[in-house]
Structure 1
Amino acid sequence: MMFMMFSPYSFLFFSTYMLFMFSLFNITNFYYYWSVMELMMLLFMGLSYTLFVSSYSQLMVYFLIQTLSSFMLLVFYIYNLPSLLTMAFLMKLSMFPFFMWYINLIYKFPNFMLWLASTLHKLPPMLMIKLFSLELNTNILWLSIVLTVLFSGVMMLMVLDLRLLLVLSSIGNNSWFLLSQMVNMFVFLFFLVIYSFSLFFLLNSFKGMSKPSLVSSMSSNPYALTLWVLSISGMPPFPVFFGKMLVILSLLMTVDMNYFFMLFLVMNSLMVMGYLQSVMKYFIYIYSSNIHYMLKY
């Protein structure tokens, strides 16, 4: 399954990465936490290097952007600059207005690295906000949450490639991760686990987890693929739907309702429409291919 395409070096990098990730929950010093997070970034790069089949320059661009945002986090934390600290977090999480670089780079990553970057690799910065009760600018944060969902949802309506749609979905779900960590640790981890498993099985329904896959070579079982797409979109009665409902209900009980939150719920419908549109386009593609094959032979 997941480790079949791993070399011994890949397995070593990933095992050490997971070990450092579990250690984050026991670190109480901000500077130690920041150092471990950067070590995890180096391990992520090492793992990417062993699996990557495209241009290594893309890895370096990803590394430079992540390193710059981490440096900004450290500096703005030391000088207690909440607004700039918020912007640094948004840059590291590839949220509005810092998301175009993520689309251009992650799209060409192998499927496993796309999965890792979309799920577990988001845990350290999200966890940092919660563990150290960082003082962020809530207005900037809420505005970015809403606009991230808006722009990712609109772009999802315009794409034909399911892989690109998953990259845009990863950006949009950053808003859900941020909202869930505003509630409590359990809700955040619960939603992260559900989303991670759903995305893993969806990517695994492509042709393997090691190489980039396009629509034309997605799956030998289109119905199973469709079920996972509906699951990742948050449609009932799939697991991600219940995870999002838990986030919404928990927020309603702990956070005052505001216009940003209502806008967020409205904009999220664009993401769901993007998923449904991709499913319809995919089946039209399969149907037209079958018709073409029958007419040819």
Structure 2
Amino acid sequence: MGNIFGNLLKSLIGKKEMRILMVGLDAAGKTTILYKLKLGEIVTTIPTIGFNVETVEYKNISFTVWDVGGQDKIRPLWRHYFQNTQGLIFVVDSNDRERVNEAREELMRMLAEDELRDAVLLVFANKQDLPNAMNAAEITDKLGLHSLRHRNWYIQATCATSGDGLYEGLDWLANQLKNKKGAVCQAEAGSETESPVRTLQVETLVEPPEPCAEPATFGDTLHIHYSGSLVDGRIFDTSLTRDPLVIELGQKQVIPGLEQSLLDMCVGEKRRVIIPSHLAYGKRGFPPSIPVMKPRGNGKNRG
């Protein structure tokens, strides 16, 4: 198990240190996750009063994870760890229904901090092995993640003791951080390609015809048409060529940017969306239509 995590983290970045901050309410499982990553085994833990930090070295790469205590009296100290954080892991006890609203308040308060404006967010819906645990879709709704339209985020169901889900979550985080580094390197090199859009941009063009009782969330099946333009100037409109696209949210049936932009959408609503490359086809592009590091814009109708 340690080797699996090692290989995954080795692919995380280029040749520099990456700083990851892991927070959440007390007893969410943060320290158990940290030492599962470090040692590949379960360790006996006590409530963290200050912080734990572990660094994994791979040649000239340092992957540093800070695990900060989550007790209410020390949460105000979280902000002292925000500086230079590139990735944020927020751990939630999926079995703790009484405090999930408290978790949401702490998460939103933290994301409002200017020092974390560029940090990507990975949510671990932990303790999925417990019989009354909320699933990832429930946690998404309870935390209000669908409202984060200007931040790259991902939620992963996990069980820290078995390691289930940790690989998938870190794989997403690795890709996000790697893409960010690639964009910076490209800009520094003076590339002739236009500057990429770095965040998903969503704008409502047409409001739903009636109050929305059931906004789209994970597990819902949507029927949509979409139209727009590619970066080479070509126009597309799926309503002219095929039946509506049928998507079950949360099943990774479409590119991440499209799926995220559909969250919280209502029947009859029309949105304008600009999807950055790292939430579309990534560094490989999708030639000749969507070149590498190019944004894509489109409009969507939910029916």
| Fold equivalence (TM over 0.5) | no
**Structure having the larger proportion of residues in strand:** 2
Q: TM-score range by the shorter chain?
A: 0.3 to 0.5
TM-score (norm 2): 0.36
Greater relative CO, 1 or 2 (CA 8 Å, sep 6+):
1
